[in-house]
Amino acid sequence: MVLQHLDAALELVLTWDMFVVMLSCALFGLFVGAVPGLSATMATALLVPLTFFMDPVPAIAAIVATAAMAIFASDIPAALIRIPGTAASAAYVDDLSALTRMGKVGRALGISVAASAIGGVFGSLVLMFAAPQLALVSLNFTSFEYFWLALLGLSAAVMLGSASILKSLISLGLGLMIASVGMDTTSGLPRFTFGLPSLLDGVAFVPALIGMFAIPELIRTFVHRDTVPSVAPIGNPLVLFRGLGGVLWRHKWNLARSSTIGTTIGILPGAGSDIAAWISYAVSKKFSKFPKTYGKGSEEGLVDACAANNSALSGAYVPALVFGIPGDSITAIVIGVLYIKGLNPGPMVFLTSGDKITAIFLVFLLANLLIVPLGLLAVALAAQVLRVPKLVLAPLILCFCIVGSYSIDASASGIVIMVVLGVLAYLMEENGFPVAPTILGIVMGLLVEQNLVTSLIKSDGSFVGFVERPIAAGLALVVAIVWTVPLWLWWRQGRKRSEELHT
Amino acid sequence: MKFHDSLIGAILLAFGFWVVVTALGYPQMPGQSIGPGTFPSVLGALFIAGGALLTISGLRTRGTTLLDIDPGWRHADRLAAALLATVGAVLLALVFESVGFPLGGFVLVTALFVLSGYRHPIWIGVSAVFVLAVYLLMTRLLYVPLPAGLLKGIL
């Protein structure tokens, strides 16, 4: 499919408009990623209102470029002031920081730039060739398979996250509950609208997203006022590439392994780059000849985790484009944008809009290749960016949040939704409830409910129909494994601990 | 701002019951055993079960307070900034059409600067230029109909 639509896709991608969009969004992503405490997801959420005014391909290009750059740039504060910008960079923050203390900050960030780019390109290539094949298979899927797939995505978000399973499950329930507000699509009955006409169409996705990612950060900035430690000097950014070729060649198998792990984890619905980085780092340590150097400036560990981090980002787009099931919070945002643009994700989009989908694949390659030149720029400007106090940016970000929430349908109700859900997200995070499952719940609520109701009608209310078809049964089995294995491991650990206490 | 797990559990329990009762009140689809209330009922049951488990596990944890407030909330200026960013934004939403974004946004951003400790007059200029730039970008370049409100004749 890729080769068939390559010419048309190149025409869509190789334009000055696309160049300006990708470059400016990449710079925006670099800035947000390099400011400690501002996340790639928040950058993406703030960008969504602007994408309304773009064609589908530039809109997705804007998000991809922003996210890829912000995730890479979050390694900069991790190296310079030991503050991980994302949950993924927390996996290797000690190594980045230790290399900086050894005077090897250029080497540390050089590995981060190169490994991120290589991992990202690898993930993009897998996306280009695996997604269309998977789409062909999924043409035979019915509501039963889609129900199980959606449930698999939601289950993975709950079971594979780092928070408590119970709290993740409740967070997911809240997201699904928010998604069920508004007119029921099957019967047309208003549900949980409290008589408010503005809620008849449901809770607007964009204000919800902006609120849940930006408002908690802003409240924390205003209230906690964390001070940023002083910045270590970087010097000439070109030192990034000194001796880098040798390091990458020495660890070529690590690059291949971690890119594969990252992409595979990214493809799993609900599991994103943070899990990929942590698992890849753990695998790297397990098979390394020098496991004791991990956490103390290991270049090997850094190569593995950085490559996995960005390859997972591309991998997450496979379930997003083929099934409309997000791989992580950023792809959840992308799915929302695709729906708004009329490019509804699913197997049919590969047949009806092959040129646009191929153009999106090319955008992935470009965005990941852009990491190298812009990474240099980011490192050169990092010291200045890190000196900007977050407290100065907070009122300006709030201003963007208000404008973004209003612009979705020119209604002030969007601002209210943003604030209410933002405060809820702040309270959730403060009390150990992760926000990502809630976002997945909001995005996938309709998909889960529609496929559940359709399947129940088809099977006359019997649950046997849900496992009669072979693929549906296979997916049901995977869901069962996702639920039982972590619970079994948790139970076994608890038993071991109590046995140790008794002896 | 950390609440005790048992308190969160109790709130979830009450919320779950409300969801179930409301959802069961929705009519079923003709000739079907399901309806618009089916899915929310399942969610309500999830909140009831989750709330109960959280309450029990919270009650087992001893020595923690019902509400643990971060020291930052005890500073009047920080509390005021957080309230302004949230309640202030909602109030702005209520008068968004009449007051308009340029004036409302300027007042909100300037007040937040003041409460954050940036009291030099230059910050008034920064908020004015920033809000105006955002307004012009959105209305002239992206055609978002941000209301000019009280400044309608000027902008």
Q: Which chain B residue is nearest to residue A172, measuring alpha carbons?
A: B43
Q: Which chain A residue is nearest to residue B37, measuring alpha carbons?
A: A191
B14 and B41 both lie in a single domain: yes
CA distances from A183 to A179, A199, A307, B37 (A): 10, 8, 44, 12
Would you state the structure tokens that stand for residue A372, as one six-digit string?
């190298």
Per-residue model confidence as pLDDT tens digits over A150-183: 888 788 777 766 678 899 999 999 999 999 999 9
Q: Which residue has the tokens 């020119």?
A: A410
**Domain final position from B36, B68, B100:** B68
Q: What is the distance in angstroms between the Cα of A432 and the nearest Cα belonging to chain B?
A: 9
B86 and B48 both lie in a single domain: no
Would you state the structure tokens that stand for residue A199, as one six-digit string?
């809620």
- The set of residues, in sequence order, having a beta carbon less than 8 Å from that of A450 and lying 6+ positions away, is A143, A185, A186
Q: Which residue has the higher pLDDT, A415 or A437?
A: A415
Q: Are A38 and A78 in contact (CB under 8 A)?
A: no
Tell whether the torsion through CA atoms of A67, A70, A75 and A81 is positive or negative: negative
- The per-residue pLDDT for A83 is 67
Phi, psi of A183 (to 5 degrees): -75, 130
Per-residue model confidence as pLDDT tens digits over B54-111: 999 888 876 678 888 888 899 999 999 999 999 999 999 999 999 999 999 999 999 9
Q: Which of A130, A118, A108 lies closest to A68, judged by CA?
A: A118
- The per-residue pLDDT for A228 is 58
Per-residue model confidence as pLDDT tens digits over A81-93: 676 666 677 778 8
- The per-residue pLDDT for B6 is 92
**Cα–Cα–Cα angle for A98, A99, A104, nearest 5°?**
150
- The per-residue pLDDT for A80 is 74
Mutate to test the interface with B, among A165, A170, A217 (most CBs of B within 10 A): A170
- The per-residue pLDDT for A385 is 66
What b-and-e string marks burial along A123-146, b requiring 16 or more CB atoms within 10 Å of the CB?
bbbbbbeebbebbeebeebebbbb
**Domain final position from B18, B43, B68:** B68
Chain B residues in contact with A48 by the CB 8 A cut-off are none
Q: Which residue has the higher pLDDT, A284 or B49?
A: B49
B131/A419 Cβ within 8 A:
no
Query: How far is Cα B104 from Cα B90, in angstroms, rounded to an integer?
Result: 11
B85 and B101 both lie in a single domain: yes
Q: Which chain A residue is nearest to residue B8, measuring alpha carbons?
A: A431
Inter-helix orientation angle A143-159/A436-458, to 10°:
150
Q: Lowest mean pLDDT of A428-432, A439-443, B91-95, name the range.
A: A439-443
Is pLDDT at A369 greater than 90 in this prediction?
Answer: no
A169/B86 Cβ within 8 A:
no
Candidates B12, B32, B97; nearest CB to A412: B97
Per-residue model confidence as pLDDT tens digits over A178-228: 999 999 887 888 999 988 888 888 898 888 888 888 899 899 989 987 665
Q: Which residue has the tokens 């205003």?
A: A222
Query: How far is Cα A434 from Cα A102, in angstroms, rounded to an integer?
Result: 35
Query: How far is Cα B144 from Cα B138, in angstroms, rounded to an integer?
Result: 5
Phi, psi of A191 (to 5 degrees): -125, 130
Is pLDDT at A468 greater than 70 in this prediction?
Answer: yes
B17 and B55 both lie in a single domain: yes
B60 and B77 both lie in a single domain: no
Stretch B2-19: mean pLDDT, rounded? Answer: 94
**Predicted complex ipTM exceeds 0.90:** yes
Q: Tell me the residue length of chain B.
A: 155
Q: Are A318 and A127 in contact (CB under 8 A)?
A: yes
B64 and B80 both lie in a single domain: no
Q: Which residue has the tokens 């849940």?
A: A212
B87 and B57 both lie in a single domain: no
Candidates B19, B29, B143; nearest CB to A177: B19
What percentage of chain A exceeds 70 in pLDDT?
92
Per-residue model confidence as pLDDT tens digits over A110-134: 888 888 889 988 988 888 888 888 7
- The per-residue pLDDT for A227 is 64
Q: What range defines the domain where residue B6 resides?
A: 2-68
Structural domain tally of chain B?
Answer: 2
Query: How far is Cα A390 from Cα A228, in angstroms, rounded to an integer?
Result: 9
A416/B90 Cβ within 8 A:
yes
Mutate to test the interface with B, among A402, A423, A446, A450 (most CBs of B within 10 A): A402
Q: What is the distance in angstroms between the Cα of B142 and the nearest Cα belonging to chain A?
A: 6
Q: What is the distance in angstroms between the Cα of B50 and the nearest Cα belonging to chain A?
A: 7
Q: Where are the beta strands (DSSP E) in A155-204?
A: 182-183, 190-191
Q: What is the distance in angstroms between the Cα of B58 and the nearest Cα belonging to chain A?
A: 12
**Domain final position from B16, B47, B68:** B68
Stretch A432-443: mean pLDDT, rounded? Answer: 86
Q: Are B90 and A421 in contact (CB under 8 A)?
A: no
- The per-residue pLDDT for A233 is 59
Phi, psi of A217 (to 5 degrees): -60, -40
Mutate to test the interface with B, among A398, A401, A462 (most CBs of B within 10 A): A398
B64 and B115 both lie in a single domain: no
B22 and B85 both lie in a single domain: no
Candidates A169, A218, A416; nearest CB to B85: A218
| A163 in contact with chain B, both atoms CB, cutoff 8 A | no
Chain A residues in contact with B127 by the CB 8 A cut-off are 395
For residue A294, what pLDDT band results from cuts at 50, 70 and 90?
confident
Q: Which chain B residue is nearest to residue A173, measuring alpha carbons?
A: B43
A173/B50 Cβ within 8 A:
yes
Over its C-alpha atoms, chain A yields an Rg (Å, rounded) of 22
B78 and B125 both lie in a single domain: yes
Q: Are B36 and B24 in contact (CB under 8 A)?
A: no
Per-residue model confidence as pLDDT tens digits over A6-22: 888 888 888 888 889 98
CA distances from A383 to A143, A237, A387, B126 (A): 52, 11, 6, 23
B64 and B78 both lie in a single domain: no
- The per-residue pLDDT for A355 is 84
Q: Are A369 and A13 in contact (CB under 8 A)?
A: no
A169/B54 Cβ within 8 A:
no
Q: Which of A256, A291, A260, A262 lies closest to A275, judged by CA?
A: A262
3-state secondary structure chain B: CEECHHHHHHHHHHHHHHHHHHHHCCCCCCCCCCCCCHHHHHHHHHHHHHHHHHHHHHHHCCCCCCEECCHHHHCHHHHHHHHHHHHHHHHHHHCHHHHCHHHHHHHHHHHHHHHCCCCCCHHHHHHHHHHHHHHHHHHHHCCCCCCCHHHCCCC
Per-residue model confidence as pLDDT tens digits over A21-60: 988 998 888 877 777 666 777 788 888 888 878 888 888 8
Stretch B38-52: mean pLDDT, rounded? Answer: 95
Q: Which residue has the tokens 């040798």?
A: A246
B107 and B61 both lie in a single domain: no
Distance of CA A291 to the CA centre of its chain: 29
Query: How far is Cα B15 from Cα A177, in angstroms, rounded to an integer?
Result: 11
For chains A and B, what is the number of CB pairs under 8 angstroms?
171
DSSP string, A98-114: HHHHTT-HHHHHHHHHH
Query: How far is Cα A276 from Cα A34, in angstroms, rounded to an integer?
Result: 21
Query: How far is Cα A304 from Cα A261, in angstroms, rounded to an integer?
Result: 10
CA distances from A303 to A74, A111, A373 (A): 16, 6, 19
| A398 in contact with chain B, both atoms CB, cutoff 8 A | yes
Q: How many CB atoms lie within 10 A of CB A337?
A: 22
What amino acid is encoded at A138 in this protein? Answer: S
- Per-domain boundaries in chain A: 6-502
For residue A102, what pLDDT band results from cuts at 50, 70 and 90?
confident
